[in-house]
Amino acid sequence: MGRNKDALVAGNVQSRSESSELTPLMIQYLSIKEEHKNDVLFFRLGDFYEMFDSDALEVSRLLNLTLTHRGSSPMCGIPYHAAKIYIARLLRCGKRIAICEQVSEPNGKTLTERKVIEVITPGTALESEYLDGGANNFLACLCVQKGRAGFAYIDVTTSDFFATSWYEADMAENFSKELGRSHPRELLLPQSLEKNEIIKNALMQNEEIAVSYYPDWNFDQSLSYKRLLSQFKTANLQSFSLDEKSPEVAPSGFLLDYLQKTATTNSPHVTGIKVYRDSQFVIMDDSSRRNLEIVQNLHDGSSQFSLLECLSHTQTAMGKRLLRSWLLYPLTNCDEIHSRQNHVELFTSNRNLLEYVHETFADILDIERLAGRIAMERAHAKDLQALKTSLAAWLQVRSQLESHGFTRTEKSLAEQIVSLINDSIIDDPATALGEGRIIKEGWSKELDEYRRIHDNVNKILEDYAEEEKTATGIQNLRIRNNNLTGYYIEITRGKADAVPPHFILRRSLTNADRYTTNRLQEIEKQIGEAELKITETEKALFLAVRAKIAEHTAYLLQTAKEVAYTDVTSALAYAALLHGWVKPLVDNSKHFVVRSGRHPVVELHLPSGEFVPNDIEISAEKTDDDGVLPYFALITGPNMAGKSTYLRQNALIALLAQIGSFVPAKEAHIGIVDRIFCRVGASDNLARGESTFLVEMTETAYILRTATEKSFVIMDEVGRGTSTEDGLSIAWAVSEYLLNALKCKTLFATHYHELTRLNHPALKLLCMDVSEEADKITFLRKIKEGASENSYGIHVASLAGVPQSVIRRANEILGSLHSDAALAENGVNVGNLQTAQSASEKTLEKSLAMPGLFSDEELVLDEILSSDPDDMTPRQALDLVARWKKSLSGR
Ligand code: ADP
C-alpha cells in the first residue's frame, strides 16, 4: 500500500463513529488487511462497513458507490444492514469478501477488538440472496499430478460433490468440457498451473469464473485422502470408487479444506462424492455443447432460445437444477433412459395426475438447500416453516405416486418432521432469534411460564398507569418506553403542576416531561428479566428443534432428490404434451430414424404450423449380408434453405432421447450414441488469437481423433474458412475419413456441390428442396433425396436487400462462370477435383478481367474526373473530346 499506508496510519482516514481511535484503528485495519490481501475487506465501523484504498477504488467502481477521500486515501462505505445486496453484487463480479466485525463492545476507552468472522467467496456463498435458485453454485478445483489430472466440484448448499479425472495429455478437451458443463462460480488451482497455456485459454472462455491460485503443497494427496475419510466418516473410499492414488483425491480434499478454512463452513451434510467416468454420459466437447445451444444461447448466454427454454416447466428450484444437469449429462445406459422415459410416460398418459403434481409442486420450496442450511446451523425459524410446507405438499403428492417407483424414502419420517415443526414453531415466526416470537405456545411449559409473567407484567404496567392517573388526576399520563431511556411516564407540559414529588424527572422535551418512579423501575426490572428468559429459552428450544431435524439431513436430501426427479419427469411430460412430442424407441442399435422431426426451439418461435417437419434415416448397423446401410448423409442446398436447422434438430433429438425425454417427431428410433459432435458455422476466437480457420480445423481434428462408431457427428460447412481449393479438398478428405475410418452416423452439410461426386455405399445424398416458379424462388425447407443443383446465393443476396444493379451484375457473372465451367469440366476427370476447381477459379479471374465490367459512361466519367485541363494543350483537349464522343456514340 506504500504511500496510502502512511496516510492511513497518520490518521487521514477517519471512522464515522470512532474518530478518537484513529491511529491504532488504522493499524488494526492494516494488519487485518495484510491477512486478506486477496479479499475485499468489509471493515465494520459502527453502523457501516468501510473499505479503504484499493478496495475502495475497486468497489466504488463496481457498485457505483460514492468515493470519498480523507487526505490521499480513498474510502467508501455501506450501511451494515444493507450489506447483503452489495455482497451479492460483488460475488457476481467474482470478488471474495472478508467480513470484519467488532467482536468486543465499544467502551470509549480501548480500541474495539475486530476480527474477520467470515470470508464469503462466489463458490462458498450460502445465503439465498447470493445464489441462483435454478443453478448449482459450484466451487471447483483442478490438480495435475504424475501425468493425471483430477477435477472436483462441490455445491455446499446442496451437498452435490462430483469428481472425475483424465490423462494430462487430454487436458485441452477435457478441462474446457468439464468447466463448461459444471460451470463453477469459483475455481481453485495450484500455482504450478498459473502459466499453463491450455488452462489460460479455457479460462479466457469463462471469464466469469473467479480463479485463485494456491501453493502446490496445499494439494497433498495423503492429507486429502485423510480429509475425505474424516468428512465421509468411512474407513476407506472404496464405495466412492477411490483409493489413495486416485487423481480425484487431491482436488476433492483441497475443496473440503478450503471450505473449512476460508469460508469457515462446516458441512456435515456432505457425506459422499460421485466419481464419474466419461463413458457414463454422452460426451460433448465444449464447443459442441455451446453450438447446440442446450442451456444457453450463443447470442447473449441467456437460456432464451435454448433447448432448456422448451423444457422449462419445472416448478421447484431443485427440479430446475436437475433438468439443467440432465441436459448437460445425457445418459448412455439404456435401462436408466427407459426408466426415466417410463416415468415421463406415466404423466403423459395420466393428465390429471400431471396437473395435480404441477399445481402442488408450486408450494414446494428448495428442500435441498433448506436441508443444507439446517445441517450447517444456518437455518432460521422461517426456513423451518418453509421446510414444513414443502414436506407437507410432497407428502400429498407422494401418496399418489407411491406405487410408481418415484420414491423410496420412508413417509413417516417426513410426517414426523412436519409435526415437529408444526407443534414447535409459530406459523409466521420472526427471522432472527430475539426479534420476536418463534416457539409456539404449549411446546414448553417453562417458556409458557415466562411468557405468563411477561404478559402479566404488562398488565401490571397498565394497572400502574391507571393508578397514577387516579392519584394525580392527570388523565393523559402515559407509560412508554424506548431503547435509550427504557420505561418512562410522559406528562404534557400543561399538567406539570399536578406532578407529585415521588416522580423523578428524566428528560424535558418541548411539550412534555419524562419521569420515572421507584415502582416503575421495579416493574421494568421484572419485564427485562422475563424478556431475557423468554429470548434465552426460545433460542435453546429453537436450536434443539433444528438439531433434531438436522439428524435427518440425509433423509431430507434424499427426499429433495425424489422431489426433483418427479418435478423433472413431470416437466418433460408437460413439454411433450404441450409441443406434441413422442416417446422415442431407444436401444443399443446404431440406427437413427426420425419421422417428421422438428427443431424444438425454432418451432417454438415460429407461428404454429409453420415449421416444416423432416425425416432422417441413417444407420451404422451392418445389413444381414454384411453390407452397409447409409450412415453418412451429405446435405446440399442453398443458404437459408434450412440445412443448419435440420442438422441441429437431429442432434437435439438424439440428446433429448438420451436424457429420457420425448422428442419433437411423429416417430423416432434412436440407437444410443456415445458422443455428439457439432461443428457448426465458423466462430472466430480472436481473444485467443485464433483465426476462424484454425478454430474450425482444431474442432475438426478433435472429432476425427475421438469419434467412434457409436458417435453422432454433425458438420456444417467444413472448410469454409480457407480458399475454395483448400476448403473443398479438406471437406472431401474429412468426409472420406468419416466414411471409411470412423463409420459413425454423420450429417454433413456443405456448399461444395463437387462433394456430391463422392462415391461410397454408406453415403446418402440429401438436399433442401426449392421451388422455382417463373422468377419466384421459394425455400420449401423440405429435405429430399439427391443433390442440390443451385446455390441460390444471389437470390439470398437479393432477399437481404443488396442493390438490384449489383444483383443483375452478379447474375451476368454467374452466367458466364457456368458456361466456362461447363467447358472446363468436359476436359476434366470427374475425380480430379483440384483441376476442376482451378478451372472454375480461372474462369472467375477471366470473367473479372473481361471487357464490359465497367460501362462506357463510367469509363468516360472516370477519364473526365482524372484529367487536368490546366495541363493540356488545346490540341490534346480536342482529341480527348473526339475520343469520348466516339466511345459513347458506339452504344
Ligand atoms: P442454412 O443452414 O441452409 O443456411 P438455416 O438452417 O439457417 O439455413 O435456416 C434458415 C432459416 O429458415 C432459419 O432461420 C429458420 O427460421 C428457417 N427454417 C429452417 N428450417 C425450417 C423448417 N424446417 N421449417 C420452417 N422454417 C425453417
Same domain, 745 and 625: yes
- Most confident of the ranges 383-387, 691-695, 788-792: 383-387
Same domain, 759 and 838: no
- Cβ–ligand 1 distance for 9 under 6 Å, the answer no
Check: CB of residue 162 under 8 Å from CB of residue 185: no
Length of the chain: 891
Check: CB of residue 488 under 8 Å from CB of residue 464: no
641 alpha carbon to ligand 1 midpoint, in Å? 6
Same domain, 435 and 318: yes
Same domain, 681 and 728: yes
Please give the distance of CA 617 from its chain centroid, rounded to a whole number. 35
Check: CB of residue 439 under 8 Å from CB of residue 542: yes
* Residue 689 predicted with pLDDT over 90: no
pLDDT at residue 820, rounded to an integer: 60
Q: Does residue 483 belong to any structural domain of this protein?
A: no
Q: Which CATH number characterizes residue 190's domain?
A: 3.30.420.110
pLDDT at residue 822, rounded to an integer: 56
Name the pLDDT band for 422 (thresholds 50, 70, 90): very high
pLDDT at residue 198, rounded to an integer: 93
User: Mean pLDDT, to the nearest integer, of 133-148?
Assistant: 94
User: Is the model's pTM score more than 0.85?
Assistant: no
> How far apart, in whole angstroms, are the C-alpha atoms of residue 291 and residue 310?
17
Same domain, 181 and 87: no
* Low-confidence winner among 69-83, 153-167, 378-392, 576-590 (lowest mean pLDDT): 69-83
- Cβ–ligand 1 distance for 386 under 6 Å, the answer no
Cα 676-210-270 angle, rounded to 5 deg? 75
Residue 643: is it exposed, middle or buried by C-beta count within 10 angstroms (0-12/13-18/19+)? buried
Name the pLDDT band for 685 (thresholds 50, 70, 90): very low
* Chain segment 283-327, per-residue pLDDT in tens: 998 889 999 999 999 888 889 999 999 999 999 999 999 999 999
pLDDT at residue 90, rounded to an integer: 94
pLDDT at residue 6, rounded to an integer: 33
648 alpha carbon to ligand 1 midpoint, in Å? 11
Q: Any idea which residue has 450447517 for its cell?
A: 376
> How far apart, in whole angstroms, are the C-alpha atoms of residue 847 and residue 815?
10
602 alpha carbon to ligand 1 midpoint, in Å? 8
User: Mean pLDDT, to the nearest integer, of 646-654?
Assistant: 96
Single-letter amino acid, residue 752: Y
* Residue 72 predicted with pLDDT over 90: no
Q: Any idea which residue has 419466384 for its cell?
A: 776
| Secondary structure, 3-state, 320-359 | HHHHHHHHHCCECCHHHHHHHHHHHHHHHCCHHHHHHHHH
- List beta partners, residue 275: 163
Same domain, 630 and 748: yes
454 alpha carbon to ligand 1 midpoint, in Å? 74
% of the chain exceeding 70 in pLDDT: 90
User: Mean pLDDT, to the nearest integer, of 435-455?
Assistant: 89
Which ligand 1 atom minimizes the distance to the CA of 779? Answer: 12
Q: How far is CA 621 from CA 709, 734, 745, in A?
A: 10, 21, 10
Which ligand 1 atom minimizes the distance to the CA of 638? Answer: 3
Check: CB of residue 366 under 8 Å from CB of residue 373: no
Q: Does residue 487 belong to any structural domain of this protein?
A: no
Last residue of a domain, which of 70, 97, 120?
Answer: 120
- Cβ–ligand 1 distance for 664 under 6 Å, the answer no
pLDDT at residue 91, rounded to an integer: 93
Q: What does the block give as the cell for 75?
A: 474510502
Alpha helices in 551-642 (DSSP H): 553-579, 600-605
pLDDT at residue 853, rounded to an integer: 46
| More confident: 201 or 655 | 655
Phi-psi sector, 770: left (phi>0), alpha (psi -120 to 50), beta: beta
599 alpha carbon to ligand 1 midpoint, in Å? 10
For ligand 1, atom 20: residue with the closest CA: 642
Last residue of a domain, which of 528, 560, 579?
Answer: 579
pLDDT at residue 847, rounded to an integer: 36
- Given the DSSP bridges, would you call strands 73-79 and 48-52 parallel, antiparallel or unpaired? antiparallel
- Cβ–ligand 1 distance for 781 under 6 Å, the answer yes
CB burial of 231-258 (b: ≥16 within 10 Å; e: otherwise) equals bbeeeebeebebeeebbbbbbbbbbbbb
Work out whether the CA dihedral 82, 86, 89, 90 comes out positive or negative.
Answer: negative
Q: What does the block give as the cell for 470?
A: 387516579
- Cβ–ligand 1 distance for 767 under 6 Å, the answer no
Q: What are phi and psi of 462, to 5 degrees?
A: -65, -45
- Cβ–ligand 1 distance for 640 under 6 Å, the answer yes
Which ligand 1 atom minimizes the distance to the CA of 645? Answer: 6
* Residue 350 predicted with pLDDT over 50: yes
User: For residues 156, 161, 165 and 168, what is the CA-based torsion angle, rounded to 10 degrees?
Assistant: 0
- Cβ–ligand 1 distance for 641 under 6 Å, the answer yes
Single-letter amino acid, residue 329: Y
Give residue 761's domain range.
585-791
680 alpha carbon to ligand 1 midpoint, in Å? 14
Same domain, 428 and 377: yes
Total number of domains in the chain: 6
Same domain, 686 and 835: no
Single-letter amino acid, residue 172: A
Name the pLDDT band for 846 (thresholds 50, 70, 90): very low
Same domain, 689 and 724: yes
Q: Which CATH number characterizes residue 108's domain?
A: 3.40.1170.10
Last residue of a domain, which of 79, 94, 120?
Answer: 120
Check: CB of residue 618 under 8 Å from CB of residue 745: yes
Same domain, 91 and 209: no
Side-chain half-sphere CA neighbours of 726 within 13 A: 7
Q: Which CATH number characterizes residue 748's domain?
A: 3.40.50.300
Name the pLDDT band for 212 (thresholds 50, 70, 90): very high
| More confident: 539 or 718 | 539
Q: Does residue 297 belong to any structural domain of this protein?
A: no
Chain-wide mean pLDDT for the chain? Answer: 86
Same domain, 574 and 591: no
How many C-beta neighbours within 10 Å does residue 441 have? Answer: 10
